[in-house]
Amino acid sequence: MSQISQRAMQPGRAPARDGLGVAQLPALLRRSWAWIVLPTLAVAAAAIVFVQVVPPRYTGTAQVLLESREAAFTRTAQERSDQATPIDEQAVASQVQVMMSRDLAREAIRRLKLVGNPEFDPTAGEAGPLRQILTLVGLAPNLHDRPAEDRVLETYFDRLLVYAAGKSRIITVEFRSRDPELAAAGANTVSELYLASLEAAKVDTARYASSWLGGNIESLRKRVADAEAKVETFRAKHGLVLASGVAGQPLTAQQLGELSTQLSQARTIQADLAGRLTAIREMIKDGRAFEIPDVANNEVVRRTVENRIAVRAQLALESRTLLPAHPRIKELRAQVADLDAQIKAAAERIVRTLENDQRIAGARVESLKAAVDGQRDVVVRGNAKEIELRALEREAKAQREQLEAYLSRYREASARDAESASPADARIVSRAVRPELPSFPKKVPIVAVATLLTLMLAAGTVVGRRLLADPEGAHPGSDTPPTDAPQPPRWRDGSERFTYPEAMPPGRWPGSAVPAAATAATATAADLAPAESRDEPRREADRPEKARPEKARPEAASFELGPLIARLEAGPRRGPGRRILVVETRPQGTGLAQPLVRSLGGRGPTLEIDVNGPETEADEPGLTDLVAGEVRIAEVIRATRDPRVQRIATGQVEIAALLAEPETLAIALEAAAEAYDWVVCRLRLVPGPLALLPALAPLMDSVILASNAAADDPELGALFGLAEDAGAGQVLVAQDRPVARAEAEMALRLSAA
C-alpha cells in the first residue's frame, strides 16, 4: 500500500479548539482593567512631565535650488550650441554631501561663533566630577587636547539636516538650536557658504586653466614656427613649388595637365583632317567633286561649273535637231568633258592640301606625346617627395590648430578669472526666518502617542498572558482531554463507527426496507434537527439491553459529520480555501454532499458545485458554461436557503467542455477557493464519465469516495487508486453501513479489474 493510502487509513483527529474567541475579549479586558489603565495613566503623566521639562528646540529652514546661472553672453559659441547637462538625482545627492562637508562645517562654526556656546561646545562650562575622574584615569578623552572647532563638529552635525526635497532639484537645509535666532542664522549661513564654495571652485578652475595655458602657449608657438619652416625648406629643396593658379597643386603637375590638354587638341585636329580627306576622295570617285564645299567655294571652279552648265544646256538644245554624230554635238561634248577635267583637277589639289595638313597634325601629336611622357616621369619622381611634404604639413597644421585652441581657451579662462565672473550653479530660493514655534517637543502628539501605545501594549500583554496560560482551553497540567471533545461514534452493538476504511457519516443500516431516496431525505431532515433530537438515538443506544423495548429501526439515522470534517481540516491544503470532491458511486446518490455542505457552511462561506447534475437543471447556466467562456463567474453563482451556502449548477454546455479546457477549470476552482472557505464539488459516477475523476482529483485537497463496497471490492480499489495516482491531496472512503473490525483492518487492495 502506498504512503498516501496509509495516511488516508489513519483515524480522524478532532480539530483543535480556539484558545480565545473574539467574543471573550471584552470580558477579559474588563476583568484586567487595572493592568491596563494604571500603566497607561502613569506613562501619560510621565509624558506630560517630559514635554514640560525638556528645553524646546527651534528649527530654521532654508532652501537652495540647483540650476545653471551662467548667462549666454559669457559662454562660448560651442557651449551655447551644446545642450546643458541635466541635473539628475545622483548630482543632487552629491551636492547634499558637499553641503555637509567638514571644511564647510568649520567655516560655519567660525561665522556662527559656536565655539564657547554651551549648547554646542562641551568645554564651555566646567566639567563635572565624574568626567574629571574618567579623564584622569584615561577612560574619557581630554576635550582640551582637540582643536576648538573639532569639539563642536559632532554637535554641529547632529543639529544640521540637509536633504533633497522629493525628486526635485531643491535642497532643504535645517538647523536646530535652542535659540530661534541662531537656528535661522545657521540655516542661512550654511546656504551662503555653499554658494560661496561653488563660486570659489569655478574661479579656482578658471585661474588654474589660465596659468597652465599661458605656460604652454609660448613653447607651442616655437614648435609651430619650426614645423612651418621645415615645410618650406623641404618644398624649395625638391622643387615642389606650388602653382599660382591652382591652390595646393605643384607646378610640375600643372605643366603635365597643360601638355595633356594640347595633346588632346592635336589628336582631335588630326582625326578631323583624316575624316575630311576620306569624304572628299569618295566624292571625287563618284564624280561629285563639284559638291565638295572647298571646291564649290573656289572662284575659278565656280566659273568652270557655270560654263559646264551653259555648255550642257546648249548640248541639250542642239541634240533636239542634230544627230549624235554631228560635228556640233561632238564639239559640245568635248567642251563638257574638258570642264569636268578642270573641276576634278581642282578637287585633287584640295585633297593634296588636306593630306599635307594631316601630316603636319600627326607630327605635332607625336611631339606632344613625347613631351607628356617626359613630364609624367618628372611628376612621378616628385610624388615620392610630395608624401614627405604632406607629412610635414600635417604636423605643422596640427600644432597650429592646437595653438589656436590654446589661445582661445586662454582668453576665455582669463575673462573668467576675475571674482564674481562665474556665478554659482545654485541660488537660495527660500531664506530661513526666525521660527516662532518650537519643533521639539510636540506636546500634544507626544502625550497622545505615548498614551495610545501604552494602552495597546498593556491590552496585548493581558491577552498574551491569557493565551500563554491556557492555549487551547484545557486545564493546565491535565492529560485528560476536555469533556466536550468529540469522541469516536459507535454503533448500537458497541462496534466503532466509520472504521473502514475512513470516517464517514452514517446513513442507515443495510437491508432497510426504506428506499435510498427516502433515506437521503430523512437523513437531511435529521441533520437540520436540533442537537437534542439528534442525540436521542445515541442516548437510547447507551441504555441497558433489557430496558430497551423492541421496536422497528428508525427510517433514517442522523449524520455524524464531526470525524469526517476533522479529517478534512487536518488534511493537506493548497490555498486559502479547501477544495473537496465528493464522488457518489450510486445512481440515486448517497445523501452525503448536502449534509456536508450545510455543516461546512456553519464554519465559513461555502460554495457547492454540481459537476454533473440531473437533466432537470440543464437549462440553468453553470460550471460548463463558465469553463467554456460563455458566462462570467458572477452569473453562475446562485443563492440557497442557507445564506452561508451558495451553489453552482452543472450548466447548459456539454460535460466534455470540462475535459477540453483543464486550465480554465483549474483557474475557476482556484478563484472559488480564494473567495470561499470551503468549495465542495459533487461528482456522480453513475451515470457519468469516469474521466472526470482524474481531471478533478489533482485540483482537490481531499477526495471522498462515498461507497458501501467491501474492502476487497475491485471497483472501489480502482477508484481509490485512480484518485490517488491523479495527485489528490488525500483520498477518503466514506460508508453509511457498519462493518466488522476484521474487515476494517483489512488492507485496501488496488486492482485494475
Largest Cα span, the chain: 191
Residue 691 — very low, low, confident or very high, per pLDDT cuts 50/70/90?
confident
Nearest 10 degrees: CA dihedral of 368, 373, 378, 383? Answer: 120
Q: For the segment 315-368, what is each residue's pLDDT rounded down to a tens digit?
A: 888 888 888 888 888 888 888 788 777 777 777 777 777 788 888 888 888 888
Mean pLDDT of 265-288: 79
Are 59 and 181 in contact, with CB atoms under 8 Å apart?
no
Whether 547 shows a pLDDT value over 60: the answer reads no
Q: Which CATH architecture has domain 56-201+422-430?
A: 2-Layer Sandwich (3.30)
Better pLDDT: 101 or 613: 101
Task: Tell me which of 130 and 22 has the higher pLDDT.
Answer: 22
Residue 448: pLDDT band (50, 70, 90) is very high
- Mean pLDDT on 659-688: 88
> Between the CA of residue 485 and those of 15, 92, 195, 472, 540, what are the distances in Å?
9, 67, 79, 12, 21
Task: Compute the distance between CA of residue 252 and CA of residue 254 in angstroms, rounded to an integer.
Answer: 5
Strand 170-177 to strand 637-639: parallel, antiparallel, or no bridges (unpaired)?
Answer: unpaired
Instruction: For residue 48, name the pLDDT band (cuts at 50, 70, 90).
Output: very high
The residue with greater pLDDT, 548 or 664, is 664
Instruction: Please compute the mean of the pLDDT values over residues 579-591 and round it to a whole number.
Output: 77
Contact 693, 612 (CB under 8 A): no
Least confident of 217-231, 303-317, 523-537, 560-574: 523-537
Instruction: Note the pLDDT of residue 282.
Output: 77
- The C-alpha atoms of residue 156 and residue 109 are separated, in whole angstroms, by 8
pLDDT band for position 678 (cuts 50, 70, 90):
very high
pLDDT at position 181 is 94
Homologous superfamily (CATH) for 485-753: P-loop containing nucleotide triphosphate hydrolases (3.40.50.300)
Closest CA to 610 of 634, 582, 632, 635: 582
Residue 278: what pLDDT?
A: 80
Cell numbers that stand for 303 in this block: 566659273
Q: Rounded distance, CA 533 to CA 12, Å?
A: 25
Strands 645-648 and 606-610: parallel
Give 27's pLDDT tier (boundaries 50, 70, 90).
Answer: confident
Q: Report, as an integer, the average pLDDT of 25-32.
A: 84
The torsion of the CA quartet 284, 290, 294, 300, rounded to 10 degrees, works out to 120
- pLDDT tier, 307 (very low <50, low <70, confident <90, very high otherwise): confident
CA distance 750 to 753: 9
Contacts of 91 (CB under 8 A, 6+ apart): 66
More confident residue, 388 or 497: 388
Region 154-164 average pLDDT: 93
pLDDT at 103: 92
Q: Is the pLDDT of residue 510 over 70?
A: no
More confident: 36 or 287: 36
Mean pLDDT of 609-618: 72
Residue 111 has pLDDT above 90, yes or no: yes
Range with the largest mean pLDDT of 150-159, 187-196, 524-533, 634-643: 187-196
Winning range, highest mean pLDDT, from 147-156, 170-179, 622-631, 720-729 = 170-179
Q: CA 222, CA 532: separation in Å to the nearest integer? A: 120
Through-space distance between the first and last CA atoms of the chain, rounded to whole angstroms:
17
Q: Give per-residue pLDDT as tens, 709-737.
A: 777 788 888 888 888 888 888 998 887 65
- Report the percentage of the chain scoring pLDDT > 90: 20
pLDDT digits (tens, 9 = 90+) for 382-392: 677 778 888 88
Closest CA relative to residue 491, chosen from 735, 260, 285: 735
What's the CA gap between 571 and 260, in Å, rounded? 106
> What does the H/E/C string look like for 595-634?
HHHHHHHCCCCEEEEECCCCHHHCCCCCHHHHHHCCCCHH
Asked whether the beta carbons of 114 and 120 are under 8 A apart, the reply is yes
The answer, yes or no, to whether residue 248 has pLDDT greater than 70, is no
Q: Is the pLDDT of residue 671 over 60?
A: yes
- CB proximity list for 523: less than 8 A, separation 6 or greater: 507, 508, 556, 557, 558, 559, 591, 595
Q: What is the average pLDDT across 22-41?
A: 86
**pTM of structure:** 0.41
Find residue 59's DSSP bridge partners: 176
Report, as an integer, the average pLDDT of 426-438.
92
**Which DSSP string do the residues of 27-76 spell out, in sequence order?**
HHHHHTHHHHHHHHHHHHHHHHHHHHHSPPBEEEEEEEEE-----GGGS-
* Amino acid identity at 360: I
Give the percent of the chain with pLDDT over 70.
Answer: 70
Q: Who wins on pLDDT, 46 or 576? A: 46
pLDDT at 216: 85
Residue 108 pLDDT: 94
- Residue-averaged pLDDT of the chain: 75
